[in-house]
Chains A and B, each alone.
Chain A
Amino acid sequence: MINEKFARFGTVHQTSWDGRAAGNFICGGAGAALLAIAVLTSWPTAPDWRLLVLALALIGAGLAFVWTEIGRPWRAFNVLFHPQTSWMTREAFVAGLIAVLVFATIATGMAATAYAAALAGLLFLYCQGRILRAAKGIPAWREPSIVRLIVSTGLVEGLALLILADLAIGAARPNMPAALLLLAVLRFGTWWRYRSRMLGSDAPRSTRTTLAVVHRALLAGTALPVLACGAAIAVPGAAAAGSAVAALSALGAGWYFKYLLITRAAQVQGYALGNKLRRGHPLAAQR
């Protein structure tokens, strides 16, 4: 039932990708960003090999999620056939490249390969943004600002993971909470932009409802890190706890956002009547 003549209708939720696809964006994004940030923060040396392994494992887990979702898993390598235009192929190649570079770094301890791996990580993150943007059938994904949002979200998650990893091995580094605070605010900015664009579009009610949930989550996932980071910076004794809270909340909000983006906000384009009635042969102008 629609009321307006040229409105989209039949904008049901997509059922092609489920939580497993979300898993790729969650794990892969966080892993790739962790890789990049770990390298950056250990500049000029290569980071702790364990961080590299963790990042690679996350990317691998993401791809494993996807592998369980595809209809023909034993043909998975066919994913590599279309680098000319497919961001999914490109993502797969970059993932392979990351694996090679990470192993090379671990094997050789060379910083240069780590730098390259970090760049590849960023590229991987970018690929993920572009994968969604190229999904023309899903207005909530094809919105161009999704790319920045996916990248910024990934970066927050990567840094959050790094902070948590540092805490776990008792090697917390200063400035990290401040950086997280900065990235979280940046993420919220990209979210704000994305959200305004979506709310300004003809997105269906189900998308809007999900966006509202995401908004609250990201608001919390920004405010909490800000407060916690502030506490961590201002109150010396609270540094560890504050950092942990900040990292966990930033990470949780980001992952929750991605999960919802894939599984609940993704309504299909639907159908519509064309609002531009034309007369004359479509190729008349070319003739």
Chain B
Amino acid sequence: MSTTHKVSTYCYQCVNGPDMLTVEVTDGVATTVAPNFAAKGYHPADGKVCVKPYGLVQKIYNPNRLLKPLKRTNPKKGRNEDPGWVEIEWEEALDTIATRLNAIRATSLVDEQGYPRVAFTTGGAATPYFYMGTFASFLAAWGPVDQSLGAGGTVKCYHTEHVYGELWHRAFTVCPDTPRCEYIVSFGNNIDASGGVTSVRRHADARARGIKRVQIEPHLSITGASASEWLPIRPKTDPAFLYAMLHVLLHERAIAELDVAFLKQRTGSPYLVGPNGFFMRDPVSRKPLMWDLTSSRAVVFDTPGIDPALQGEFIIAGIEVGADEQVWEHASVPASTALEVTRRMVEPHTPEWAAAICDIPASTIRRIAGEFLEHARIGETIEFEGRTLPFRPVAVMLGKGVNNGWGAYECVWARTMLMILVGGLEVPGGLLGSTVHISGMDFDRMGSVAPHPDGFLDYPFNPTDKEHWASQPQVRHGHTTLIPIIGGGLTSQLMGSTVLSWMRLQGRAADSWGKPKPPDLWFVYRCNPNISFSETDKMGETMATFPFTVAFSYTQDETNHFADLVLPEAIDLESTQLIRLGGTHYFEQFWDSQGWVLRQPVVKPQGEARDFTWISTELAKRTGLLEAYNTMINMGAAGLPLKTEQYDFSLDVGKAHSVDETWDAVCRAASADVTDGVASDGLDYFKEKGFRVKPFPKINWYLYPRMEDLGLRFELPYQERVLRIGKELAARLHEQGVTWWDRQLHEYEPLPTWKDLNKLWSDAYERAYGIKAKDYPFWLLTARSMQYAWGGNVSLQMIREVAANVAGHDGIMINARVAEDMGIEQGDRIEVTSPVGVTTGRALLRQGVRPDTIVMVGQFGHWKTPYAKDLDMPSLNNLVPMNMDLVDGTGSAVDAVLVKIKKIRS
């Protein structure tokens, strides 16, 4: 008699989770994935999951899966070397690692150069943390771990938005208040492919409601498909469009048409800028000054009852405080408002100027700016949770391709400026942040709000003063040394310049710091940097130099080809973990509940795959770290503290605990967490129910009420702190003789000036590769594959099959007319060459792509991963140069590249 039952679990294969699902199991075999309809009413998308988890059943039973630990027998590493894998027992595998770790511990945790001897790399915007059980507790118990060897982060993320968004409005990620928004200007934001289930649902609902979205992007994306209008902009010219919109609002419209009240009370627009570029301040209190129109004099910004001037230049007295406490005392100097300085900067950036750059008519740019302003409904309010708030149903969104590398600062600044000009930042209908990572804990955005003496949000910049600056890099990309804005918190390492780490390991960057040694032991988990990063062929050569690599892997792949041990962990539907759920986070995740959700084994792990918590505990045991490891779990490294004033479910630190014991304790703490200490149900409860939540106050979807309560201002338009920090950082680096970061230091401008990015790229290529840029007439861009992104699922037939229904999954998208001119027909093989690499693929003739652009969807180019290597799908990654000239001030680069193409004659 056959029996079937359903098991609930979660999917966190992208940052826009977790989403809940159920898996039907028949006679011990997982068969069918379905939404978890019990989550309806809690989950903003009614408990549904996207296409990716439908690959998870096949993921369990994939015959290409690794099911036993593997040991390398060929000491020579290289792409063309056979690793000589032999199967070993877990005992041997764990002992081997422990022996290495114990040897490191016996020597020193950091090497002679000061870098951690142990490194850990994962991908997927750190979503693997939600699959690796208690491994984070093990790493915390271990001590310094280098996480600077990125797998794609800062090149393939919304990096500039992460850092400046968080600085300005606690918006590590940004999205419209979609359920209320009426007009979105989207610069390549591919939300329908990258925003997860909730984003798709909220935007579909918004379209049904009649939202208008203008999609400005070189290639008509999935999201562009559902837009009201597609404007095919020339790649890398988005800042010009945005600056022209600012020009229209600041020069062609009266200031009175903007949200004057918002600008005066909630922004730094009225702050007066002195002749040295710093705010004019009161000599005693050092508070920034504003010009009070009522009393016609300069007063400190928080003087009650004043009417600050937004525009104009005033002759005033005061001090400026520059870098390293340099103070200028002014008895009488002209000082302009920050908004006035901004107006001056954007004056030349007319729509006519932008038209030629962007290849978009000036009238269109002017129209979009006008529509944006008209839809903003300036002056209107809305009742929300018993509070009257401004209602500004407009938003400007940025895609990933304009959000990192040079030009991204301009884009993020200009779009946030547009939002404050209409008072649409952090109010219903407008543009919202959803989570923080630098200034606080990701699940408690409101808790991160703290006032700065200048009236803005406080922000934990890494120190740049002489005394406190981290002169010695702590990890290989020196994030605390080089990039003040990413802070020094738990996740800051992941935001450092990962390009710099790899280039340093290749001896290609930061020469004055010397070439770092590779880590003695490198853990790689749930990622494949040798596919997902840039210049991957070269990266493989670097990996081959690493003395000992331990890869936790699902199949053989292009990264673990260079590993010494490959370990099979129990995958998504085979393992246990409890994680946070709800609140606000990432894209469009605005819940009215908050709590915890369990991942549990739907079926027994296949073969000898082991739960990551078991692996972590075993490693802790064998390295003498059991007590520290358990202590970390007790302190909250597995999700939340196991002991508070309200409850105590802490683990006995002297004992090794089973997977279930460990998570039972976490579950109990979670039950207490959501019931104010009343409940203490453990693992069994969550196994049955799947999740447990408490209400989350909806007013916390918006930062504005909190800013209003605290009398705080959004730190825009003028970036005085950035200017000061930049000068200090330059001084510190120059004192050390570091000049190789000078180009990056140029970005520390108080108002980002427009740069010709196409020229910047061409010049950089010509300098570095001795080529003529005009020989590389196409921009090669990538676009998100919802089916594949972050899923680690390239070896799944199921995913391949359904993804093939979406254009771009079987070739290189090229404008049909251009192809015709070049004699390229549908399906012809074409060769794409950048200054650093070459690849081939089938031509996919499309109308929805600019003539100067070609597109490769997703990340492929596999040569080792079973199944994936036979897909004949090219990847742009190997063609994208790692080049310090293309790394911006916050350490990021973009995965776009200039290329040439030709048809391959068969």
What residues make up the interface of A, taking CB atoms closer than 8 Å to B? Answer: 1, 3
Q: Which residues of B contact A1 (CB under 8 A)?
A: 816, 826, 845-847
Question: How far does the Cβ of B818 sit from chain A's closest Cβ, in whole Å?
Answer: 13
Q: Which residues of B contact A3 (CB under 8 A)?
A: 847
Docked complex: B421-443 residues within 8 A CB-CB of A: none
Cα A3 to Cα B845 with chains together (Å) = 13
Q: B847's closest neighbor in chain A, by CB?
A: A1
Cα A106 to Cα B826 with chains together (Å) = 59
Docked complex: B838-864 residues within 8 A CB-CB of A: 845-847
Q: Which residues of A contact B845 (CB under 8 A)?
A: 1
Docked complex: B529-553 residues within 8 A CB-CB of A: none
Docked complex: B814-848 residues within 8 A CB-CB of A: 816, 826, 845-847
6 pairs from A and B in contact (CB 8 Å cutoff) = A1-B816, A1-B826, A1-B845, A1-B846, A1-B847, A3-B847
Q: B846's closest neighbor in chain A, by CB?
A: A1
Overall SS of chain A's interface: loop
Q: A3's closest neighbor in chain B, by CB?
A: B847
Q: A2's closest neighbor in chain B, by CB?
A: B847
Question: How far does the Cβ of A273 sit from chain B's closest Cβ, in whole Å?
Answer: 14
Q: Which residues of A contact B816 (CB under 8 A)?
A: 1
Cα A1 to Cα B847 with chains together (Å) = 8
Count CB-based A-B contacts (< 8 Å).
6
Question: How far does the Cβ of A206 sit from chain B's closest Cβ, in whole Å?
Answer: 13
Interface residues on B, range: under 10
Question: How far does the Cβ of A4 sit from chain B's closest Cβ, in whole Å?
Answer: 12
Cα A3 to Cα B816 with chains together (Å) = 11
Cα A64 to Cα B816 with chains together (Å) = 46
Q: Which residues of A contact B826 (CB under 8 A)?
A: 1
Cα A4 to Cα B862 with chains together (Å) = 38
Q: B807's closest neighbor in chain A, by CB?
A: A1
Q: Which residues of A contact B847 (CB under 8 A)?
A: 1, 3
Question: How far does the Cβ of A11 sit from chain B's closest Cβ, in whole Å?
Answer: 14
Question: How far does the Cβ of B806 sit from chain A's closest Cβ, in whole Å?
Answer: 15
Question: How far does the Cβ of A3 sit from chain B's closest Cβ, in whole Å?
Answer: 8
Cα A223 to Cα B816 with chains together (Å) = 43
Q: B826's closest neighbor in chain A, by CB?
A: A1
Q: B848's closest neighbor in chain A, by CB?
A: A1
Question: How far does the Cβ of A13 sit from chain B's closest Cβ, in whole Å?
Answer: 15
Q: Which residues of A contact B846 (CB under 8 A)?
A: 1
Question: How far does the Cβ of A156 sit from chain B's closest Cβ, in whole Å?
Answer: 39
Cα A268 to Cα B339 with chains together (Å) = 63
Question: How far does the Cβ of B345 sit from chain A's closest Cβ, in whole Å?
Answer: 44
Cα A3 to Cα B846 with chains together (Å) = 11
Docked complex: B704-723 residues within 8 A CB-CB of A: none
Cα A79 to Cα B453 with chains together (Å) = 88
Cα A67 to Cα B845 with chains together (Å) = 41
Question: How far does the Cβ of B826 sit from chain A's closest Cβ, in whole Å?
Answer: 8
Cα A38 to Cα B826 with chains together (Å) = 52
Question: How far does the Cβ of B223 sit from chain A's closest Cβ, in whole Å?
Answer: 20
Question: How far does the Cβ of A2 sit from chain B's closest Cβ, in whole Å?
Answer: 9
Question: How far does the Cβ of B334 sit from chain A's closest Cβ, in whole Å?
Answer: 60
Question: How far does the Cβ of B142 sit from chain A's closest Cβ, in whole Å?
Answer: 55
Cα A170 to Cα B847 with chains together (Å) = 65
Cα A191 to Cα B442 with chains together (Å) = 73
Cα A3 to Cα B848 with chains together (Å) = 12
Q: B816's closest neighbor in chain A, by CB?
A: A1
1/0 contact string of B677-703 vs chain A (CB within 8 Å): 000000000000000000000000000
Question: How far does the Cβ of A9 sit from chain B's closest Cβ, in whole Å?
Answer: 13
Cα A1 to Cα B816 with chains together (Å) = 9
Question: How far does the Cβ of B208 sit from chain A's closest Cβ, in whole Å?
Answer: 16
Question: How far does the Cβ of A187 sit from chain B's closest Cβ, in whole Å?
Answer: 37
Cα A13 to Cα B846 with chains together (Å) = 21
Cα A15 to Cα B816 with chains together (Å) = 28
Question: How far does the Cβ of B854 sit from chain A's closest Cβ, in whole Å?
Answer: 16
Question: How far does the Cβ of B434 sit from chain A's closest Cβ, in whole Å?
Answer: 37
Question: How far does the Cβ of B847 sit from chain A's closest Cβ, in whole Å?
Answer: 6
Cα A1 to Cα B811 with chains together (Å) = 14
Cα A1 to Cα B846 with chains together (Å) = 7
Q: Across chains A and B, which 6 residue pairs bring their CB atoms closest together, nearest first?
A: A1-B845, A1-B816, A1-B847, A1-B846, A1-B826, A3-B847
Q: B844's closest neighbor in chain A, by CB?
A: A1
Question: How far does the Cβ of B555 sit from chain A's closest Cβ, in whole Å?
Answer: 33
Cα A87 to Cα B826 with chains together (Å) = 39
Cα A3 to Cα B826 with chains together (Å) = 15
Cα A1 to Cα B813 with chains together (Å) = 12
Question: How far does the Cβ of A286 sit from chain B's closest Cβ, in whole Å?
Answer: 28
Cα A232 to Cα B272 with chains together (Å) = 109
Question: How far does the Cβ of A27 sit from chain B's closest Cβ, in whole Å?
Answer: 36
Question: How far does the Cβ of B306 sit from chain A's closest Cβ, in whole Å?
Answer: 57
1/0 contact string of B458-474 vs chain A (CB within 8 Å): 00000000000000000
Cα A1 to Cα B843 with chains together (Å) = 13
Question: How far does the Cβ of B732 sit from chain A's closest Cβ, in whole Å?
Answer: 56
Cα A1 to Cα B220 with chains together (Å) = 14
Question: How far does the Cβ of B225 sit from chain A's closest Cβ, in whole Å?
Answer: 14
Question: How far does the Cβ of A14 sit from chain B's closest Cβ, in whole Å?
Answer: 20
Cα A144 to Cα B847 with chains together (Å) = 36
Question: How far does the Cβ of A67 sit from chain B's closest Cβ, in whole Å?
Answer: 32
Question: How far does the Cβ of A5 sit from chain B's closest Cβ, in whole Å?
Answer: 13
Cα A121 to Cα B33 with chains together (Å) = 55
Question: How far does the Cβ of B728 sit from chain A's closest Cβ, in whole Å?
Answer: 55
Question: How far does the Cβ of B144 sit from chain A's closest Cβ, in whole Å?
Answer: 55
Cα A3 to Cα B847 with chains together (Å) = 9
Question: How far does the Cβ of B99 sit from chain A's closest Cβ, in whole Å?
Answer: 59
Cα A77 to Cα B492 with chains together (Å) = 73
Q: B845's closest neighbor in chain A, by CB?
A: A1
Docked complex: B575-613 residues within 8 A CB-CB of A: none
Question: How far does the Cβ of A144 sit from chain B's closest Cβ, in whole Å?
Answer: 33
Question: How far does the Cβ of B113 sit from chain A's closest Cβ, in whole Å?
Answer: 55
Question: How far does the Cβ of B817 sit from chain A's closest Cβ, in whole Å?
Answer: 11
1/0 contact string of B796-816 vs chain A (CB within 8 Å): 000000000000000000001
Cα A257 to Cα B813 with chains together (Å) = 38
Cα A21 to Cα B520 with chains together (Å) = 68
Cα A196 to Cα B816 with chains together (Å) = 31
Question: How far does the Cβ of A204 sit from chain B's closest Cβ, in whole Å?
Answer: 14
Cα A143 to Cα B560 with chains together (Å) = 59
Cα A143 to Cα B847 with chains together (Å) = 32
Cα A260 to Cα B154 with chains together (Å) = 57
